Chain A
Amino acid sequence: MRIETDRTTCEGLGMCEAMAPDFFEVGADGTVVVLEEHPGEEHRQDLTAAVDASPVLALRLKG
Chain B
Amino acid sequence: MTLVVVGGSLAGLRAVESARRAGYDGRIVLIGAEEHLPYDRPPLSKAFLDPDGPARVQPFRSEAELREDLGVELMLGTPADGLDPRDRVVSVSGTMVCYDALVIATGATARRFSGTDGLRGVHTLRTAQDAAAVRASLDRGARTVVIGAGFIGSEVASAARKRGLPVTVVETQDLPLLGSVGRQAGAVCADLHRAAGTDLRLSVQVIGLESVAGAVSGVRLSTGEVLPADLVVAGIGAAPATGWLERSGVPLHERDRGVICDATLATGLPGVYAAGDVAHVVNPLFDEESARVEHWTNAAEQGAAAARHALDPAAARPLVPVPYFWSDWYGHRIQFVGTPRAEEVVVAVPAEAGFTALYRRRDRIVGAFTVDRPREIMKYRRRVAARGSWAEAVAFAATTTTAA
Interface residues of A (CB under 8 A from B): 12-15, 17-18, 21, 25-28, 30, 52-53, 55, 57
Contact = CB atoms under 8 A, between A and B. Distances in A.
Contact of A12 (B297, B374, B382): B374
Contacts of A55: 40, 42, 296-297, 300
Given A21-B382, A52-B304, A15 B297 contact: yes
A53 B300 contact: yes
B378 A26 contact: yes
A26 B382 contact: no
A11 B42 CA distance: 12
Contacts of B324: 15, 18
A27 B376 CA distance: 10
Nearest to B17: A52
A31 to B, nearest CB: 9
Contacts of B374: 12-14, 26, 30
Given A14-B381, A30-B333, 8 more contacts: A12-B374, A14-B377, A14-B378, A18-B381, A28-B375, A53-B297, A55-B42, A55-B297
A12 B376 CA distance: 11
Contacts, number: 43
A11 B169 CA distance: 27
Interface in B376-400: 377-378, 381-382
25 contacts: A12-B333, A12-B374, A13-B326, A14-B374, A14-B377, A14-B378, A14-B381, A15-B378, A18-B378, A21-B382, A25-B375, A26-B375, A26-B377, A26-B378, A27-B375, A28-B375, A30-B374, A52-B304, A53-B300, A55-B40, A55-B42, A55-B296, A55-B297, A55-B300, A57-B60
Contacts of B381: 14, 18
Interface of B: 14, 40, 42, 60, 296-297, 300-301, 304, 322, 324, 326, 333, 335, 374-375, 377-378, 381-382
Contacts of B375: 25-28, 30
Contacts of A21: 378, 382
Contact of B300 (A17, A25, A52): A52
Query: Could you say which of B297, B375, B377 has the most chain A C-beta atoms within 10 Å of its C-beta?
Result: B375
A51 to B, nearest CB: 12
A25 B333 CA distance: 17
Nearest to B377: A14
A12 B42 CA distance: 15
A52 B21 CA distance: 12
Query: Could you say which of A21, A26, A30 has the most chain B C-beta atoms within 10 Å of its C-beta?
Result: A26
A15 B299 CA distance: 14
A26 B322 CA distance: 18
Contacts of B326: 13
Nearest to B14: A52
A21 B380 CA distance: 12
